[in-house]
Amino acid sequence: MHTVEVRRNGGPPRSYPSGLQEREIPVTDRERFINCVLGEPVDRPPFWLMWGPWATTWQRWEREGKPPEVTDHRSFWKPDAFPWAVPVNAGPCPKFDTSIIEEDEASFVWRDGWGIKRRDFKDSMSMSEFLDFPVKNRRDWDQYKEERLNPDDPERLAGDWLAQAKAREAAGAPVQLGYYPDVGLYGGVRWLLGDEECLIAFCTRPDLVHDIMDHLTSVYLAVFAKVVDQVRVDVIHIWEDMCGRTGPLIGPRQWREFMGPHYRRIKAFAEEHDIPVLSVDTDGMPDLIIPPMMEAGVNYLFPFEVAAGCDVNDFRKRYPALGMMGGIDKRALAESPEAIDRELERIRPAVEAGCYIPDLDHLVPDDVSWANYRHYVEALKKLVGVG
């Protein structure tokens, strides 16, 4: 079979069967992203700075002399465009009122757009304290479904999303459907029932879990169908955050039973509309549920948190067809330029193997100095081959 050779990022050339490669070497950020994820020819991996700083990190950087023209963490370096989510509403519609319910000197209590009552602390970047969730029984779910999850509510497509999407498309940027926190199967059940009650429900109220996931999927696909009639879409993204440091919060058997059928519905929709990437975001260690996810059509996963034991070199070897992003230990950025260089050298084999976009494994905490962040970005540019 005739093959073509493409040299990646200064590494050894890789051979591709030319009869299977329909895309030429990419010239846009969209093409580079899709080709990299799918293992097709690329000039280099994408240069991304997807994960931004905490608010307190940004404040630190301003104290340490960040130039005023740096108005966000990307503007100074002009990275490649990562997938942009079309701003249509695939979650609760209408959203709940998000105004503050009560407040004191240290904290404030509010209800988010899904109806979750939270407490946030004013001088901390910690996760919210979750006080109450909107669904406690079947009656609550039936009411929520009727009042907030009508898939055909015209307000779901309010706003200038079409003009924005067309502009991104014209600019050669990848376009995405789905985003945190409004598109997720486990994520949606968790957001409605709460962390503990969600897990208990898989065993004690499986009919409720099945019904929630089935209806949420129907809402997502109804909204997506209206968008793909007018816009070229490259990614369907599903937010789950269903793994901890020691593994997923449900096992592979439960994933296949509860989530697999709905992922297959989404994958069939993607194939029908020529959407090449089905993406999942889950923190923690996802190893046990990667096989069922890939069986159901997932071909792109992030962020591979190093603190949870994720090693992108290992995952690259064991799941060669899986597109990956993340896997750079954010904690190295708090140490020193030498530690940053060692960390980037550690993930070099995955970069050279392909199907991998090197980026941090989550947001940048406030123990990272401006000088160290600048060193990281410049070193990352060299790693991926940006001049």
Same domain, 314 and 284: yes
Q: E-assigned strands of the chain? A: 3-7, 13-17, 84-85, 100-103, 107-111, 117-121, 129-132, 175-177, 235-239, 243-244, 247-248, 277-282, 300-303, 323-328, 356-360
Same domain, 188 and 127: no
Q: Looking at the domain assignment, is residue 18 inside a domain?
A: no
287 vs 290: CA distance, rounded Å: 5
User: Are the beta carbons of 361 and 306 closer than 8 angstroms?
Assistant: yes
Q: Last residue of some domain: 133, 157, 187?
A: 133
Q: Looking at the domain assignment, is residue 232 inside a domain?
A: yes
Same domain, 128 and 229: no
Three-class secondary structure of residue 277 per DSSP: strand
Tell me the residue range of the domain where 110 lies. 97-133
Same domain, 121 and 225: no
User: Are the beta carbons of 258 and 202 closer than 8 angstroms?
Assistant: yes
Same domain, 256 and 163: yes
CATH of the domain at 263: 3.20.20.210
82 vs 128: CA distance, rounded Å: 27
Residue 233 makes CB contacts below 8 A (sequence gap 6+) with 86, 175, 176, 177, 224, 227, 273, 275
Q: Looking at the domain assignment, is residue 5 inside a domain?
A: no
Q: Looking at the domain assignment, is residue 323 inside a domain?
A: yes
Strand-pairing partners, residue 17, are 3
Same domain, 121 and 144: no
Q: Last residue of some domain: 107, 133, 159?
A: 133
Same domain, 309 and 282: yes
Q: Looking at the domain assignment, is residue 40 inside a domain?
A: no
Same domain, 169 and 125: no
Residue 367 makes CB contacts below 8 A (sequence gap 6+) with 334
User: Are the beta carbons of 53 and 368 closer than 8 angstroms?
Assistant: yes
Helix and strand numbers, DSSP H then E, in the chain? 14, 15
pLDDT tens, residue order, the chain (387 aa): 233 344 333 333 333 333 334 446 878 999 999 999 999 999 999 999 999 999 999 999 999 999 998 888 888 899 999 999 999 999 999 999 998 999 999 999 999 999 999 999 988 777 899 999 999 999 999 999 999 999 999 999 999 999 999 999 999 999 999 999 999 999 999 999 999 999 999 999 999 999 999 999 999 999 999 999 999 999 999 999 999 999 999 999 999 999 999 999 999 999 999 999 999 999 999 999 999 999 999 999 999 999 999 999 999 999 999 999 999 999 999 999 999 999 999 999 999 999 999 999 999 999 999 999 999 999 999 999 997
Same domain, 69 and 172: yes
Q: Looking at the domain assignment, is residue 176 inside a domain?
A: yes
Same domain, 241 and 357: yes
Q: Looking at the domain assignment, is residue 38 inside a domain?
A: no
Question: Which CA distances in Å does 123 have to 51, 56, 120?
Answer: 21, 9, 9
Same domain, 114 and 169: no
- As for how many domains the chain has, the answer is 2
Q: Looking at the domain assignment, is residue 29 inside a domain?
A: no
User: Would you state the pLDDT for residue 24?
Assistant: 64
Same domain, 169 and 286: yes
